[in-house]
Amino acid sequence: MENDAATLYCPNELCQAANPLTHKFCQRCSTPLPKRYLWVVGDVLNVGSPGEILADRYLVINKSVVLDTKPGLLPQGLETENVQTIRAYLRLIPYSLHIPQVYGVLSLKDGRSRKEILLLEKPPLLTEPTTNSQLRLCPQLTTAWRTATSMRQLNWLWQLAHLWQPLVSEGVASSLIDTDLLRVEGSLVRLLELRFDTFTTPKLSDLGEFWQQLLPDTKPVIAEFVNHVSNCLIQGEINSTEVLIAVLDRGLAELGELQSPKIKIITKTDTGPKRQRNEDACYPPSGTLLSKPPQATALAIVCDGIGGHEGGNVASNLAIETIQQQVQQLTKVPYDHIEPSLLLADLEQAVAVANDKISQRNDSENRQGRKRMGTTLVMALPVAHEMYITHVGDSRAYWITRDGCYQVTLDDDVASREVRLGYAIYREAVQQSSSGSLVQALGMSSSTALHPTAQRFILDEDAVFLLTSDGLSDFDRVEEYWETEILPILTEETDLVTVADKLLEIANTKNGHDNVTIALVHYQVKYVEPELTLKATIVERPSITTANVAPKPLQSTLLEDISEQKTLIPEDKPSSFQQLPLHLIVPMIIVIAAGSLGLLVRGLLWQSPLIPTVFSPNVQPTAAAPTSERSLNNLAPGWVITNSQEIILSNQKLPPGSFLQVLEPAPSDTPNSQASLVVLRLCSPENNSPAQTEKIVKVKLAQLQRPGITVLQSNEPSRCATLSQPPDS
């Protein structure tokens, strides 16, 4: 139980007034009072009794939950040499929708020694609307399963399938079959914490056995489907998450046909009180209220321009115009002919087209350095029962349901990069100089150096998606005001236009330092249990393609430090965090130098903007005859593709030094050869386990067009000694 005498201190550094725990706003300055409940990991026996204050700031709610009563202060961080113990949390920050992130540590005295207890933020907790808020955990998936609809049950399995491979890669897949850790918050699967794999890495067969435990309470419409899928996992007939996701996608698509969603979109943009011009842009045009139906397509885009006068606004508007045209092509394809993974790739390609148009404009006008123009991007495309979110830069997308507000995009900035590389806790990273500097934006160089993020989410309930530039999202304004301003849309207490105007007012009065642009997407749906029996068919993924929008090849340009408001830096220049000790800095310098030399020898002009080159110590050079680099457009069966840096293909994370043997090259004599599928066999490097070898993957040729990919003219004998027969397409 909470301590009624405890106080919550205002996070405003100019105020810091003490407030009763029941207040939502500071009684002195009206600043919102965030209640940051934290999950305690590890030795909870020494945490203390409910009502006790630890470390002069943490109020004990129960043995596993504390409340930070001083949210305006930086939490105590982990000692740098101990960061390895939390690296899985840090590297999985792209999945923070499902996995709580590290907030800080609680240092407690235990006898003569001190213990550091890990604190996780945004755990799956529910609060009751009472004066003395009683906390309870979100229900276990196995408990909530009994009352969930068939659509939601399949949605939860789909999320587990998507999380499986990333968690396997970090050695924490056991978390997905632990009934106590596995919680659900509305339609979202949430984890209390990560459980590290001990002796052996769980296999898909273990996931199948866990799913079989759900069968007694599975809805009749999908019971046969789930039984078949779980049996195929156990028996090894489904041996990859790619196939598993494809099977679940078909089931969801069949159930999704029974939904008839209604979608409304409103956009607003404003120069703000301190800017002379508006470099933002949006689609539909500002003030337009769009509805589907009757409109055939619902699309929302927000861009935040970079580059100063006659620069940022040109780039943002050019991006809007180009992407809107490209997406119109994609949505002409009938829904039952859309393969989700290919649509994601096509959305990324649409972004690449816009990027290259802006970059080409920069080159034609001889723009260099700070005069070079660019833009961030975030867009939402609802398709049937799915929402596709694509972004580049620090413009964000938030997903608001009756259960919470969730940031679904990860900023392309230095702070986020440091976390995903496992170097620092986020709340420490954002305190460093240049932490908010962008590592990529549209138009700054060729699309070969651009890595947009495209995601999709299954929607089985009403929701609001907020797309926004940092004019609103800075200083956590969305987190502070979503409950009072956006949630009423879902309860039908207000409308989109009123909320959009209010959000602009908040941005201008509470922030006011920048232009502000927002888009609100209101998704409404009703689902009724169907009278049918879903069948599962385990087959290869279909070779159905969406409209191709491959970018035109352009000459690479150098990414430089630019912009009046934003700083954009090359991703291959890691920031120097002062807390990193010498024994970490020196190896990093050596690795980066070695990587740069290797890239120079290979003739590459640019490095990946997402992950710096890291060479595996277990991959040794062979004594094979020298091989020559060949073009990806000139592949032949038996040739081998290798990577000098970590990449992800078909949900498979490939470490540096992986080898992919060409079984079936893409045709080069067709107009849309970039969209053609290449059949590859993964021949794992020596440090991979045998279970990961000999995997067959199909990818679009365009997905291989990235830095760090090298084509070897002949087989690499120690990895791909035997040429397998191509599978039937």
Task: Collapse the DSSP code of 414 into the 3-class scheme (helix H, G, I; strand E, B; otherwise coil) and give the result.
Answer: helix
Q: What is the pLDDT of residue 579?
A: 43
Q: For residue 532, how many other CB atoms are within 10 A of its CB?
A: 13
Mean pLDDT of 412-419: 96
Structure tokens at 574: 């890691």
Q: Quick one: tokens of 57? A: 């700031």
Q: Three-state SS for 139?
A: coil
Q: How confident is the model at residue 582 (pLDDT cuts 50, 70, 90)?
A: very low
Cis amide leading into 100 (omega within 30): no
Judge whether 388 and 297 are in contact, CB under 8 Å: no
More confident residue, 337 or 604: 337
Mean pLDDT for all residues in the chain = 82
**679 versus 123: which is more confidently predicted?**
123
Q: Give me the amino acid identity at 527.
A: Y
**Could you give the maximum distance between any two Cα atoms of the chain, in Å?**
76
For the chain, the domains span 7-122, 141-256, 263-524, 607-729
Is a pLDDT exceeding 90 seen at residue 548? no
Confidence category of residue 309, pLDDT binned at 50, 70, 90: low
Task: Please check the confidence at residue 482 and state whether its pLDDT lies above 60.
Answer: yes
pLDDT (mean) for 100-129: 85
Predicted local distance difference test score (pLDDT) of residue 3: 52
The reported pLDDT for the residue numbered 604 is 38
* Residue 191, C-beta contacts closer than 8 angstroms, at least 6 positions apart: 98, 99, 100, 124, 175, 181, 182, 183
**Burial degree of 416 (CB within 10 A; 0-12, 13-18, 19+):** buried
Q: What is the mean pLDDT of residues 282-311?
A: 92
Residue whose tokens read 């050869």: 673
Q: What is the pLDDT of residues 30-85, one digit of tens each?
A: 999 999 999 999 766 667 888 999 999 999 998 899 999 999 999 988 776 677 78
Which residue reads 């809107």 in tokens? 324
The architecture of the domain spanning 263-524 is 4-Layer Sandwich (3.60)
The CB density around residue 327, as the number of other CB atoms within 10 Å, is 23
Give the pLDDT confidence score for residue 375 in this predicted structure: 97
Structure tokens at 82: 């101990």
Bridge partners for 60 per DSSP:
66
Q: Kind of pairing, strands 7-9 and 516-524?
A: unpaired
| 318, pLDDT greater than 70 | yes
Query: What's the average model confidence in pLDDT over 579-595?
Result: 44
Q: What is the DSSP code string of 561-606? A: ---SS--B--TTS----TTS-HHHHHHHHHHHHHHHHHHHHHT---
Residues 606-664 have pLDDT tens digits of 333 333 322 233 333 333 333 334 567 667 777 778 876 667 776 666 777 777 888 77
Question: Which residue stretches of 661-702 are H helix?
Answer: none
Q: What is the pLDDT of residue 687?
A: 41
- The predicted-structure confidence for 330-371, as pLDDT tens digits, reads as follows 887 777 778 899 999 999 999 999 999 999 999 999 998 778
pLDDT at 467: 98
Residue environment code for 423-460, b if the CB has 16+ CB neighbours within 10 A, otherwise e: bbbbbbbbebeebbbbbbbbbbbbbbbbbbbbbbbbbb
pLDDT of residue 718: 40
For the segment 131-155, the average pLDDT, to the nearest whole number, is 89
